[in-house]
Chain A
């Protein structure tokens, strides 16, 4: 009986992009998820530029449709992908604007976010998940990768990936944080 309860507590939820508001409403802090579909990657250097584009209404012109999307805080290089700290000033500062203006639904990275960010994510029906630093495993789950903006930034440019089953755990949802 105990085993059954434990198993159901930690059942993995499959998430397929684009993510709909009802999917986000169903996610709770501590849920283990596997993410499949199209996701975007960017970190310190490029995310503020993407926010500027969103504020100027230029995302669609550049072919970037982030409604319901996942943004993974990672560089992309021939060495693979892996999470960088989401609480770096430039990255955390972009999380809320990207949800509010561009409709990003899931931010994927590592480390705790401040309380204000967690509260704002709730307002915009978005969540934050952490992904273990398992680059070799993620490589085996990455189907395709292409640079879609700011190519001059090299590995720090904005990338679109097709992925299958990226493992993560929901770390902030509905105003709650796994770290609090």
Chain B
């Protein structure tokens, strides 16, 4: 595919990720509204769905925190990553952020200026750089890019930490549920979708958590995911913390390779009510 075409497709994917609920997401919301018994919570949830309809029609952001772009590239056996491809993707992200427009929230300056925010803000939305690219080799003959937008609220309430599992799933699950309840009750933008990665290091767990958001589906929940969802929902946090049946719509969990050890590293992100914001595109000619 030509450079310019890749750039255009990536830009369009970013706008789509920011402004559109996917079909399974819409269905999950409709089902959640019909199950909600708290009228205030149901009112909030209906507004969130209405918001998604307005955003989709106008191609405007679902949330004013348009997030930090995270990219996952699926690489099939017949394809290669070139410097040119990465440049086109990078330019596409920048173009998408200007087109959306994204929130101009990049901080200027050297390390300390960026840390204490004394460097001022860059007024250009495209100055918000993507997180490091994640590449996943796959058997399918594809070159497929997934664009994911990660907002700040879930980053504040998420965590990546070790759990001593005592060789029992129930122990891991109990700790995950405890973290999930705490995170969802604090985030203020529930119902959430819990994204969880379990790996051997913090890096691996975080990468698996991103992968969980990309490949997770509201249509298909594993029994482990269902258990977590149901247990967190028993806390009765509800939409915006107003109480109710639906604190989380679903759980997306990705379990990676594990080491012979009493410890599992778990990364949990309470994706807010507009997340996961993800769009996928093919970058190879078919």
A residues with a Cβ closer than 8 A to B are 6, 10, 30, 32, 45, 74-75, 77-85, 110-112, 130, 132-137, 139-140, 152-156, 167, 169, 178-179
Establish whether residues B189 and A135, one from each chain, have CB atoms under 8 Å apart when the complex forms. Answer: no
Determine the residue in chain A with the shortest Cβ distance to B185.
Answer: A112
Within 8 Å by CB of B101, from A79, A135, A153, A169, lies: A79
Taking A83-B188, A134-B48, A136-B60 as known contacts, 12 extra A-B pairs with beta carbons closer than 8 A to each other, sorted by chain A number, are A75-B103, A77-B105, A78-B101, A133-B274, A134-B51, A135-B63, A135-B64, A136-B52, A137-B51, A155-B103, A155-B121, A169-B44
Chain B residues near A84: list those with CB within 8 A: 153
Establish whether residues B47 and A137, one from each chain, have CB atoms under 8 Å apart when the complex forms. Answer: yes
B residues with a Cβ closer than 8 A to A are 19, 39-40, 43-44, 47-48, 50-52, 54-55, 58, 60-66, 100-105, 117, 120-121, 123, 125, 153, 186, 188-189, 239-242, 272-274
Establish whether residues B60 and A139, one from each chain, have CB atoms under 8 Å apart when the complex forms. Answer: yes
- Say whether, besides A110-B189, A133-B274, A155-B104, A79 and B61 are in contact (CB < 8 Å): yes
**In the docked arrangement, what's the CA distance between A10 and B43, Å?**
10
Establish whether residues A167 and B47, one from each chain, have CB atoms under 8 Å apart when the complex forms. Answer: yes
**In the docked arrangement, what's the CA distance between A179 and B48, Å?**
20
Across the A-B interface, the 8 shortest Cβ-Cβ residue pairs: A136-B55, A134-B51, A154-B121, A82-B64, A111-B188, A79-B103, A110-B188, A80-B64
Within 8 Å by CB of A79, from B40, B52, B66, B274, lies: B66
Establish whether residues B240 and A134, one from each chain, have CB atoms under 8 Å apart when the complex forms. Answer: no
Chain B residues near A30: list those with CB within 8 A: 40
Kindly provide the distance from the CB of B105 to the nearest chain A CB, expressed in whole angstroms: 7
**In the docked arrangement, what's the CA distance between A130 and B240, Å?**
9
**In the docked arrangement, what's the CA distance between A155 and B117, Å?**
13
CB<8 Å pairs between A and B, sample of 7: A77-B103, A79-B125, A133-B48, A133-B189, A134-B50, A135-B64, A136-B60
Chain A residues near B40: list those with CB within 8 A: 30, 169, 178
Within 8 Å by CB of B51, from A136, A155, A178, lies: A136
- Say whether, besides A110-B240, A137-B50, A79 and B102 are in contact (CB < 8 Å): yes
Which of B55, B60, B125, B240 has the most CB atoms of chain A within a 10 A radius of its CB? Answer: B240
Chain A residues near B188: list those with CB within 8 A: 83, 85, 110-111
Establish whether residues A77 and B54, one from each chain, have CB atoms under 8 Å apart when the complex forms. Answer: no
**In the docked arrangement, what's the CA distance between A85 and B40, Å?**
19
**In the docked arrangement, what's the CA distance between A10 and B55, Å?**
26
Establish whether residues A135 and B51, one from each chain, have CB atoms under 8 Å apart when the complex forms. Answer: yes
Establish whether residues B47 and A132, one from each chain, have CB atoms under 8 Å apart when the complex forms. Answer: yes
Establish whether residues B64 and A79, one from each chain, have CB atoms under 8 Å apart when the complex forms. Answer: yes
Establish whether residues B273 and A80, one from each chain, have CB atoms under 8 Å apart when the complex forms. Answer: no
Chain A residues near B19: list those with CB within 8 A: 136
Establish whether residues B241 and A111, one from each chain, have CB atoms under 8 Å apart when the complex forms. Answer: yes
**In the docked arrangement, what's the CA distance between A152 and B100, Å?**
23
Chain B residues near A134: list those with CB within 8 A: 47-48, 50-51
Determine the residue in chain B with the shortest Cβ distance to A76.
Answer: B64
Establish whether residues A77 and B104, one from each chain, have CB atoms under 8 Å apart when the complex forms. Answer: yes
**In the docked arrangement, what's the CA distance between A135 and B58, Å?**
12
Kindly provide the distance from the CB of A159 to the nearest chain B CB, expressed in whole angstroms: 12
**In the docked arrangement, what's the CA distance between A75 and B242, Å?**
23
**In the docked arrangement, what's the CA distance between A134 and B49, Å?**
9
**In the docked arrangement, what's the CA distance between A75 and B105, Å?**
10
Establish whether residues B104 and A154, one from each chain, have CB atoms under 8 Å apart when the complex forms. Answer: yes
Establish whether residues B242 and A178, one from each chain, have CB atoms under 8 Å apart when the complex forms. Answer: yes
